[in-house]
Chains A and B, each alone.
Chain A
């Protein structure tokens, strides 16, 4: 049985997602990278991850729809952390209403994110 925890990361900033991938893999997680909401939904359906990190503003399908898909259509309790930008307070509220677990407001510290992930996956 594979004990490595799987994390799906949906983020359209390629450098940020690459940096987070490096940092999280170093911590021993397996990362699945999606560039947009649609890819994220596909990855989640195929891999049943232990955690989902998603940006709110993304091409094709927004982070809100990803959350809604996981909670309502797939009916899963996977922890979901959303990334928001300044001024998206209303969307963060919506994200929580839809069932998001936690949020990080951009710009955020990658190390702080890692600490939160570790805590959520314990």
Chain B
């Protein structure tokens, strides 16, 4: 055992300890935020400022033209349209298929329920990259290569979403359904007028994760499309980067534009977003 410390020593030690914690936290935040800060300031610099060493932390004057020049240097209009189109349609579609499937697993009795659910969970262990190649062949044979179908239809289902929503649906008491049925409410109507509104937080989580995943997806789009007007923002940005050479200020302006939609979504829905992601860790 340590000797008993006097009150003053204890307070001093506590204070030093807390100071250390703050220093650690501040250092961590600085490391995490520095790349974003650097991206943002560089996007407003002139080319000479962007490449200056020692670094120019804040540009002398803010060059908004970088954004316009970057936007015009590549078909960013198409990239953004495609990204939004893909993210919104896959999100809506996935929410719909997920609600239906999760309801069947949570509230219906049917032949083969246990085995089918187990097989679905098993598919979560298959690495997507292994499926990329046979899927590429399938997409080619279906004639969907370089078409919107290839970007959207395979992504309309998520087993993880079904799993998450099933857990939520199961917590809704069965009495509610029985009461609704006695009042003459059909299964389908019950699902969409009672279950869905009750499960808004879980559905919102599924939708957010999907939107984010769609917006950020890269490898699939890279493989399944070839014309510039079919590319999405991440793939377009990668192409742009190999064209601009050392014009880092334009590249950073384009990167900031690619981040803004997700950042806005995140800042407006921060609480649900973080809770949703945290929920992915609770099995």
Asked if chains A and B come from one complex, the reply is: no
B interface residues, Cβ below 8 angstroms from A: none
